[in-house]
Amino acid sequence: DQQVKQNSPSLSVQEGRISILNCDYTNSMFDYFLWYKKYPAEGPTFLISISSIKDKNEDGRFTVFLNKSAKHLSLHIVPSQPGDSAVYFCAARRSGNEKLTFGTGTRLTIIP
């Protein structure tokens, strides 16, 4: 049972435009969400997170939006740069539990 879903396996975006990566979850107990970025031959690296008490968190070019009623979150990257080409994983956890449940990932390609 995939509790965290990323329905788009891949996404291509022109350099300078906005990249929007989507993630849906089914477990209403999840209350903390994270995005990770992964380059080939490297481990995932933490990008940005959001608590369920917020609906938006911003860090430079990266913004995460959370819609609790829809059980949906999205990562916006503006403007997109070639170095953003990577696989992006969303992850979720619930209070009192250190375990992260990951989605299947979306491969983002930025076209110069």
Partner 1 sequence: EAQVTQNPRYLITVTGKKLTVTCSQNMNHEYMSWYRQDPGLGLRQIYYSMNVEVTDKGDVPEGYKVSRKEKRNFPLILESPSPNQTSLYFCASSKGLAYGYTFGSGTRLTVV
- CB of 93 closer than 8 Å to CB of 85: no
Q: How far apart are CA 97 and CA 112, in angstroms?
A: 41
Which of 7, 15, 29, 46 is in the footprint of partner 1 by CB under 8 A? Answer: 46
Alpha carbon 22 to chain centroid, angstroms:
7
Which of 21, 44, 85, 88 is in the footprint of partner 1 by CB under 8 A? Answer: 44
Which of 13, 64, 84, 93 is in the footprint of partner 1 by CB under 8 A? Answer: 93
- CB of 49 closer than 8 Å to CB of 64: yes
CB of 16 to partner 1, least distance (A): 28
Complex with partner 1: residue 3 or 79, whichever CB lies closer: 3
CB of 20 to partner 1, least distance (A): 19
Q: How far apart are CA 102 and CA 88, in angstroms?
A: 10
Name the residue with tokens 């992260």. 100
CB of 36 to partner 1, least distance (A): 8
Is residue 45 at the binding interface for partner 1, with CB under 8 A as the rule? yes
- CB of 110 closer than 8 Å to CB of 82: yes
Is residue 105 at the binding interface for partner 1, with CB under 8 A as the rule? yes
